[in-house]
Amino acid sequence: MAILDTALSECSRVGLGGLSIGNLARLLDMSKSGLFAHFDSKENLQLQVLQNGRDRFVVRVLAPALQAPRGIPRLEALFEHWLEWADSPFLQGGCIFASTSTELAAQPGALRDCLLSAQRDWLGTIAEMARAARREEHFHEELDPEQFAWEFHSMTLAYHYFSRLIRDPEAQSRARNSFQNLIRASRA
Amino acid sequence: MAILDTALSECSRVGLGGLSIGNLARLLDMSKSGLFAHFDSKENLQLQVLQNGRDRFVVRVLAPALQAPRGIPRLEALFEHWLEWADSPFLQGGCIFASTSTELAAQPGALRDCLLSAQRDWLGTIAEMARAARREEHFHEELDPEQFAWEFHSMTLAYHYFSRLIRDPEAQSRARNSFQNLIRASRA
DNA sequence: CCTACCGATCGGTAGG
DNA sequence: CCTACCGATCGGTAGG
């Protein structure tokens, strides 16, 4: 849906709270109430924006990574597809999950609950892939899958920060260095 | 100044954009225009809030770390004091630099410039301490100080995320694990 | 520091 | 989908 795609892109720039119905209507060349009629409340619009982000994330990051063989190759594919996702032109401000996770961290409600469940899924997926890599004997036996997910995720947060705030031209190679260090330390 | 301390705490929760003069006045039991008279504009208030954060950061994190001996001990002290900072009761929503860095990433202006210079200083300080650790021969010769700062900082971002959004009770020990992995890999 | 006010914008509604 | 409107709140000002 065109409305949700525009809203997703806008939210990645200004956050969920920074999105206003009036401004979004202007971007879409619609009247405010015409746009509002599609949603029952602003919160519902924001929830659908988050859900749109989840759907796209599955298509752009998760599904392609699952094409790669289990173990290290799959984890490498996951990381590379995440980097592409973070630079997607349809996300003007980068990964919406990265940008909204600080915004919603201290704001209880349905939006926070939605983001939290998405993030728990994501962390669980990384940990499960690390567990598979251990089973395949790509990773050593003592590897802690949850700690692996923690460190994997910290690299994505850092990439968002260095590419978007610092605008470090080396952000990508730094992220890849970090990731390769993690893989090296995890290897059997 | 009491106004700036209340504003700092509030901003850590709701972000710089989420701060409103009317709401802040209510928290301080003042009239809106009485509070406004202390600042010439909302942006100036926000800038002073950020500056207040920088001042407190120096006192709480940087200065105490410089008491520790150069090299690995100083870097360990820096990390531990950062963890204490992130849990400070006067920062209701955690580290303001972590919470505002996503908010300001895509919003050009004086606020972004102020945060950016603070963050460049911070990253430069970490890199310089890593360079000193290399000189002291605590770290191996090939260590890249900028990459070290990148990874150090990514751990602080991850701690903010896991403790504030995920509310992972193990956030602290996970962060310390990450940090010790980094130190181990950097050792001479 | 205050009261009283400004125009603009907010989310949302009535009625079509 | 629209026009026209609601009360509340926004940043900011006048005048004291």
Tens digits of residue pLDDT in B113-142: 999 999 999 999 999 999 999 999 999 999
Domain hosting residue B99, numbered range:
57-186
Instruction: State the Cα torsion B1-B80-B163-B46 to the nearest 10°.
Output: 30
Tens digits of residue pLDDT in B135-149: 999 999 999 999 999
Among candidate residues B52, B46, B42, the one with its CA nearest the CA of residue B1: B52
Which amino acid is located at A80 in the chain?
Answer: E
Chain A 112-141 residues in 7 Å CB range of strand D: none
Asked if residue B94 is part of any domain, the answer here is yes
Nucleotide nearest to A34 (CA to C1'): D1
Domain count, chain B: 1
Asked if residue B93 is part of any domain, the answer here is yes
Q: So what's the pLDDT on residue B1?
A: 85
Q: So what's the pLDDT on residue A1?
A: 85
Asked if residue B43 is part of any domain, the answer here is no
Contact between the CB of B18 and strand D at under 7 Å: no
Residues 6+ apart with CB under 8 A from A97: A53, A57, A115, A118, A119, A122
Give ∠ CA B108-B110-B114 in degrees, rounded to 5.
105
Q: Average pLDDT, stretch B61-80?
A: 98
Asked if residue B2 is part of any domain, the answer here is no
CATH number at residue B168: 1.10.357.10
Asked if residue A48 is part of any domain, the answer here is no
Tens digits of residue pLDDT in B95-115: 999 999 999 999 999 999 999
Retrieve residue A3's tokens: 């409305």
Asked if residue B28 is part of any domain, the answer here is no
Contact between the CB of B32 and strand C at under 7 Å: yes
3-state SS, residue A168: coil
Q: Are B86 and B160 in contact (CB under 8 A)?
A: yes
Tens digits of residue pLDDT in A51-107: 999 999 999 999 999 999 999 999 999 999 999 999 999 999 999 999 999 999 999
Asked if residue B90 is part of any domain, the answer here is yes
Euclidean distance between CA atoms B38 and B19, whole angstroms:
16
What are the C-alpha distances in Å from A82 to residues A76, A97, A143, A172, B21?
Answer: 10, 12, 23, 11, 39
Q: Are B73 and B64 in contact (CB under 8 A)?
A: no
Residue in chain B nearest A152 by alpha carbon: B158
Residue in chain A nearest B15 by alpha carbon: A103
Asked if residue A5 is part of any domain, the answer here is no
